[in-house]
Amino acid sequence: MPNPFKSNQTVLFQGDSITDARRLTDEDGGLGSGYVRIIASLLGARYPELGLKILNRGISGNRVADLEARWQEDCLDLKPDWLSILIGVNDCWRAFDSNDPTRVEDFEAGYRRILDAVKAQGDVNLVICEPFLLPCPDDRVAWRADLDPKIHVVRQLAREYGAIFVPFDGAFAAAACRQEMDYWLPDGVHPTPAGYGLMAKTWLQALRA
């Protein structure tokens, strides 16, 4: 299997709390305790000669608009060679807990603007991850009507921008057929250690790394 990475490349992960994973309280590299740390550990073990630099800039609660507001400092200025984005579940969640919905048209427009800004900067390897949700607890069932159109937008953008696509929603749906949903996502959104392991596995498989 060919190695997709080159020496001394920077791999930047962007997103919300799922990516954040308490990174600001992490004294060991600021990677957090989630899928970013697992991926960094495995890449470091597989390709020690490459000297890859892994960065986590996920921030809990972020929506697409929040990414856009901090995009210059937390993305463009870092000049990543690889950029992995996981965003969208809070654009859904706020409609239900704060009566503050994000229209799918606004979600798509904001996502396009951050992707266009990255593309304008040069040759960046894009990794676009679909947001995910399991109906656990039961009230999450109603969320699918809001989230599913945003997932379709993410899939379309991955095709349009030539990104590597990471099918997290499909991975968790399949995993929930093997073990109870709260084994993976106790609140339907935030992963357990096993859930983070599944994310890392799915991400690395998508990159064939």
Residues with catalytic function:
17, 187, 190
Dist. CA 121–CA 103, nearest whole Å: 28
Cβ partners under 8 Å of residue 117, min gap 6: 71, 75, 76
Tokens of 66: 């929040």
Q: Which helix (H) or strand (E) is 148 found in, with range?
A: helix 144-160
Q: Are 208 and 1 in contact (CB under 8 A)?
A: yes
Helix and strand element counts for the chain (H, E): 10, 5
Rounded to 5 degrees, what angle do the CA atoms 12, 209, 14 make? 20
Q: Are 98 and 92 in contact (CB under 8 A)?
A: no
- Name 53's bridge partners: 10
